[in-house]
Amino acid sequence: MGARCRLAAFAAILGATGQIPATAAGRVNEFNHIVVIIQENHSFDNLYGLWGDVNGEAVNGLNNADAVDTRQVEQDGTPYKCLPQLDVNLTSPPLAPTCTGSSNKAPFQSAFANGPFMIDNYIAPKDTTCPPPGARAPKDGIVKGSGLPGGCTRDLIHAFYNEQYQIDRGRQDRYVTGSDAAGLVMGYNDTTKLPVYGALHRPGAPNYVVADAFFHAAFGGSFLNHQWLIAAATPVLCNALNDGSERDLHSIIDSNGMPGPTPFYRSPPGAVTKSGLLTISCDPPPGRPPPAPDSACGDYAVGTFQPFYWPYSPGAAEERRLPPLTNPTIGDRLSAAGIDWAWYSGGWSNAIGDIGAPGWTNGGGPSCADPNADPRPAYPRCPDKLFQYHHQPFNYYASFAPGTAARAQHLRDEAEFLAAANEGTLKPVSFVKPIGGETEHPGFTDESEGDTHLVRLVDAVVNGPQAEDTLIIVTYDEFGGQWDHVPPPPYGRLGAQAGASDQWGPGTRVPA
């Protein structure tokens, strides 16, 4: 391969963590089965910030945030006088304003001080702010009383270049300015009301730890972080167009590293920007700025590409479907070592048209029987409206192409995992990816429903015959655009000793 087709690699597959005590590491051989459950889009403080103690040891949550400056700053570095809000349930009105601020010379009123706030006090878990099944919440949320129950919030931008701007070299103070959701980034959930918190504090609950120094592997969103999860590498679009045309997929960033404006960010006058699916070009065509010395550049896929193989988003243009990848994955390496494994995905049988297989809910045709099926593909391809195609990382690889034995053996439906857990037939390694509506992803699901499903997955193992020798790892793919008070490596208190880092990440701290 040419230089432009080389893969980027990073030291960690699941993220950067603190050291595991030697006594704990010595007990890993007690486990014959590992289950990895991948949830979606929450920072640590947003979801686990109020966890408290685990076995008498304090979790580094929001109780420690008071020791650092949590204030968010405007583009010029001045702290906001109060938090600007855009969500229709958080703006003033309907909330009574307690503060008047301004940004980019535009005044605004707000009911929020410049700091973290508990979302539950304003959008409760049962509030009617959720979209109908299969839909996403609109840009600024759904007004209470006009949606479905669940306390949903909107989705927040979580993008490769935006996140680096938001982290601000470990100051953690530009999350508001770098976001399309403004002050919502500072919201957090009441951890003690989460179903998983209740499940792990009930009598007879399994032993557990909370990893409070765990950071998602690569800056940005779900597509890229799923690739890092299974391959520890940023994919490359070989021979990508680099002519500055409309079909050129490279990003263009301004002198602040931003790929475009947000409600409270403006690029310097005359700057040309573009939020593309690829990193900025290392050799940009005339008229585009050269890359900064510390910026990732080249033909690296950092935006949400669709896979080349079905299932992919119906109607996806071919240039937005990534050609099959050939670099090694954790699946390849497990198989080479003779260790059986599977990636279990919610909705997989429906999506690929595996009629009658575990998880199939669409009958015998001639059309898809499930009312939640996307009507765009033809039967028997019946993906759920919330099936997330870019959450299926192995489907991007030639070694798991349709028709291969590896695909048939290792890419399975989540229903098979639940059956294996109940029956005592777990594989040595299981990756479990719930369907979009059950991943806790803001914007198209409510937190309680996704967390309840997580408990169901954990309980299936804990109550099954292989519980005693099974290790369950729960992780979140990335931060979902939300603030956290702990700087990722190398910006922690120990500097470069806090963990490995490079131009790809790690990003914001996430629950684990």
Interatomic CA distance for residues 320 and 297, integer angstroms: 19
**Could you tell me whether strands 148-149 and 128-130 are parallel, antiparallel, or unpaired per DSSP bridges?**
antiparallel
Interatomic CA distance for residues 14 and 475, integer angstroms: 8
Measure Cα distances from 398 to 36, 54, 307, 344 in Å: 23, 43, 11, 19
C-alpha dihedral, 228 to 233 to 237 to 242, nearest 10°: 110
Interatomic CA distance for residues 107 and 468, integer angstroms: 59
Task: Give residue-wise pLDDT tens across range 171-209.
Answer: 999 999 999 999 999 999 999 999 999 999 999 899 999
Interatomic CA distance for residues 313 and 395, integer angstroms: 13
H helix intervals, 121-218: 160-167, 195-200
CB 125 within 8 A of CB 150: yes
CB 279 within 8 A of CB 365: no
Scored b (16 or more CB within 10 A) or e, 110-137 reads bbbebbbbebbebbebebebbbeebebb
CB 48 within 8 A of CB 511: yes
Interatomic CA distance for residues 113 and 101, integer angstroms: 10
Residue 8 banded pLDDT, cuts 50, 70, 90: very low
Q: Is the pLDDT of residue 408 over 80?
A: yes
Give me the residue label for tokens 């309680």: 448
Task: Give residue-wise pLDDT tens across range 128-162.
Answer: 999 888 778 888 999 999 999 989 999 899 999 99
H helix intervals, 160-212: 160-167, 195-200
Paired strand residues for 505: 502
Q: Is the pLDDT of residue 391 over 80?
A: yes
Predicted pLDDT at 101: 86
The structure tokens listed for 315 are: 């109607």
pTM over 0.85: yes
Residue 19 banded pLDDT, cuts 50, 70, 90: very low
Q: H or E segment at 460?
A: helix 447-462
The structure tokens listed for 54 are: 């685990």
H helix intervals, 237-372: 330-336, 348-352
User: Is the peptide bond preceding residue 506 cis, with omega within 30 degrees of 0?
Assistant: yes
CB 213 within 8 A of CB 470: no
CB 248 within 8 A of CB 279: no
Average pLDDT over residues 459-465: 96
CB 502 within 8 A of CB 217: no
Percentage, residues of the chain above pLDDT 90: 79
The structure tokens listed for 39 are: 């949830």
Task: Give residue-wise pLDDT tens across range 336-364.
Answer: 999 999 999 999 999 999 999 999 999 99
Predicted pLDDT at 18: 38
CA angle, 277 as apex, 165 and 410 as ends, to 5°? 110
Interatomic CA distance for residues 358 and 417, integer angstroms: 10
Average pLDDT over residues 35-58: 95
First to last CA, the chain: 37
CB 177 within 8 A of CB 265: yes
Q: Determine the distance from the C-alpha atom of residue 444 to the mean position of all C-alpha atoms in its chain, rounded to a whole number.
A: 13
- E-assigned strand segments in 375-414: 411-413
CB 436 within 8 A of CB 135: no
* Residue 448: partners with Cβ closer than 8 Å, 6 or more residues away: 125, 150, 151, 194, 195
Predicted pLDDT at 498: 57
Interatomic CA distance for residues 163 and 156, integer angstroms: 11
